[in-house]
Amino acid sequence: MRCWYSSLSELRGKEKMENIIAQNEHVTLRELRTQISATSEGKLPTFKQLMEMKSAVVAQKVVNTALLTVYQNGYAVYEADGARTVMTVDRCKEYTYDFDNGTRITIQQELLENEEWSIRLLMEGEMRLEHNHNKTFDKFECVSLECDGSDWSAAASVDFLQEDNEMVLAEIELCRLYEAMDKLTKRQMEVIRLYFYKGMSQQAIAQKLGIGRRSVGNCIEGALKKIKKIFQKSTSQAA
pLDDT digits (tens, 9 = 90+) for 2-42: 454 455 455 555 677 778 888 888 899 999 999 999 887 77
52: burial class by Cβ within 10 Å (0-12, 13-18, 19+)? exposed
Q: What is the per-residue pLDDT across 33-71, written as a single tens digit (0 to 9) for each?
A: 999 998 877 788 999 999 999 999 999 998 878 899 999
**Residues 206 and 146 placed together within one structural domain of the fold:** no
Q: What is the per-residue pLDDT across 184-199, written as a single tens digit (0 to 9) for each?
A: 888 888 888 787 767 7
Task: Report d(CA 140, CA 146) in Å as an integer.
Answer: 10
**Residues 149 and 169 placed together within one structural domain of the fold:** no
**Residues 89 and 197 placed together within one structural domain of the fold:** no
Give a yes or no: residue 103 inside a domain.
no
How confident is the model at residue 73, as a pLDDT? 94
What is the domain extent for residue 196?
A: 161-239
113 CB-side CA count, 13 A: 11
Domain boundary (139, 157, 175) is at 157
Domain holding 221: CATH number? 1.10.10.10
**Residues 29 and 139 placed together within one structural domain of the fold:** yes
pLDDT at 103 over 80: no
pLDDT at 161 over 60: no
Amino acid at 98: D
> Is the whole-model pTM more than 0.75?
no
Give a yes or no: residue 135 inside a domain.
yes
216 vs 70, which has greater pLDDT? 70
Give a yes or no: residue 9 inside a domain.
no
C-alpha angle 26-29-30 in degrees, rounded to nearest 5: 120
**Residues 126 and 230 placed together within one structural domain of the fold:** no
Domain boundary (101, 129, 157) is at 157
Give a yes or no: residue 110 inside a domain.
no
Q: What total number of domains does the chain contain?
A: 2
Give a yes or no: residue 100 inside a domain.
no
How confident is the model at residue 51, as a pLDDT? 93
Give a yes or no: residue 107 inside a domain.
no
**Residues 62 and 167 placed together within one structural domain of the fold:** no
**To which H or E segment does residue 68 belong?**
strand 66-71
Q: What percent of the chain has pLDDT over 90?
A: 19
Task: Report d(CA 28, CA 115) in Å as an integer.
Answer: 5
